[in-house]
Amino acid sequence: MNRIRLENTQFEGENSIYLLGSDADAPTTLIDTSVRKPETLDSLESGLADYDRSIGDIDDVFITHWHPDHAGLAGTIQERSDATVFVHEEDAALVAQSESAWDAIEARQRRLLDEWGLPERIQAPVFQHAQDVGRLDGPEPTVEPFAAGDTFDVGDLELEAVHLPGHTAGLAGFAFDGDSGRELFCGDALLENYTPNVGGADVRLENPLATYLDTLSHFVSEEYTRAWPGHGDSLDPAERADEIYAHHRERAEDVIDVLEDNGPTDPWTVGSHLFGELDGIHLLHGPGESYAHLRHLAEAGYAERVGDEYELVESPDLDDLFEERMKAGR
């Protein structure tokens, strides 16, 4: 397995693309593709050439999730190589650029921007920016959907699909027996230097934080020895999952403080207290994460939604919200 680093000025600095099967007699497989930009495509060609491969040699592409910095070049690669593009069934239609799938997610984005309390004057620019950086374009790939537990023979490795929702509804990892034990490619389910956004990164999830906490518990219970993320270096998945769990518990405390100090509050206002001035895609991700926490509190019965605002109805038990869920994964 070899990693190709591709510059990416839109999300997290750079992407880690993984090349499997660099031996001459093995199928050539990519995990993710990065953004669809001419300079990124050139860098991918150069990276492949370092291992005596070209885009035309690629047999299979496994996409961890639908975001353009992971799936952006899938159609271009397939057009040049006739590669099979595999995507989890929850994200497959978006990667295939289905108009009905995009219409549905964008209609929900529009509704939530209003529901979250974004000022009317910035709703249109925020939505336009989300479209500009979110919609996939270029050649429309034909995709092969898969489900959790499906396995794939990629030469000297067998990949097992693992569903890791939260950041997106269909985020998938690919587990394999590596040098250190059971390892996996995890996309953006875990990141070394950032906490993956939940709430704004994929608005299709009804209770995104609870969903993501279950994914974090999976990393603990399965005892993977190493994870290979879509950005940055490899990491200890259980250790990083613990750190992200702690982050969200602290974030929940901050959300509770805002509600206690201000009474009924909408996600935009909560986000303003938590994150301060926001710009770009963070105008969607900031209130989206606030919404994820507010929804988590409401689903547990500690908060109640009144109109587009949330108010505390009971002092939250954070052990109940976080610790017990993590213990269940151990």
Buried b (16+ CB within 10 A) or exposed e, 306-327: eeebbbbeeebeeeebbeebbe
Question: Mean pLDDT in the chain?
Answer: 92
| 265-297: pLDDT as tens digits | 999 999 999 998 877 888 889 999 999 999 999
What is the per-residue pLDDT for 131? Answer: 83
Find tokens 């860098």 and name the residue.
Answer: 43
Query: pTM for the whole thing?
Result: 0.94
What is the per-residue pLDDT for 156? Answer: 85
Domains and CATH numbers, the chain: 2-240 (3.60.15.10), 248-329 (1.10.10.10)
Instruction: Retrieve residue 50's tokens.
Output: 């370092």
Low pLDDT (below 50) residues in the chain: 330
Residue 72 gets which letter from DSSP?
T
What is the per-residue pLDDT for 22? Answer: 63
Sheet holding 84-88, edge to edge: 2-7, 14-20, 28-31, 58-63, 84-88, 143-146
The answer to whether the beta carbons of residues 36 and 133 sit under 8 Å apart is no
| Angstrom distance (rounded) from CA 255 to CA 278 | 17
What is the per-residue pLDDT for 324? Answer: 63
What is the per-residue pLDDT for 141? Answer: 97
What stretches of 19-142 show up as alpha helix (H) in DSSP? 38-49, 68-71, 74-81, 92-95, 99-115, 120-134
What is the per-residue pLDDT for 280? Answer: 80
| 70-97: pLDDT as tens digits | 999 999 999 999 999 999 999 999 999 9
What is the per-residue pLDDT for 12? Answer: 59
